[in-house]
Amino acid sequence: MPTIPLAQLHEYAHGAGYTMRRGPGNSQDGWIDVSTPPGPPISLGAMEMLDSSTWSDISSRLVETFLVHTAAIIPVVTRAEVPTASQALLNAMAAVAAARSGVPMPVFEVLRHVVQREIEVNGG
């Protein structure tokens, strides 16, 4: 499994308001702490995106962005696994891509909300 030096992720994490954490001792392992406080409530207008005719296209493009940019470095989910992936997983992949790309923040917030609801309802 390829690894990424934390230094390469520091700029992203800092810009997104996350915190880089290093493993114990002299470990080169680490992670990005995404335990951020909840943002403001999702506006009704933002939630209406889910019902729009373009939402499926937006979500599909974000999943593709995840496969090209994130899965190429951290292959947690590969292109071959996408056809059998659950909607919850696809939404999480789209949320990761939205957080790392230049999409409007309401798109990320809606995806984050949808993923959180799926975890609450389905238990993870």
pLDDT at 65: 93
Tokens matching residue 105:
């923040």
pLDDT at 64: 94
For residue range 16-64, list pLDDT tens digits in order.
666 666 667 666 666 556 555 555 666 666 777 777 788 889 899 999 9
Torsion of CA 8, 10, 13, 19, to 10 degrees: 140
Q: Burial, 97: exposed, middle or buried (Cβ in 10 Å; 0-12, 13-18, 19+)?
A: buried
The upper half-sphere exposure of residue 57, i.e. CA atoms within 13 Å in the direction of its Cβ, equals: 3
The structure's pTM equals 0.65
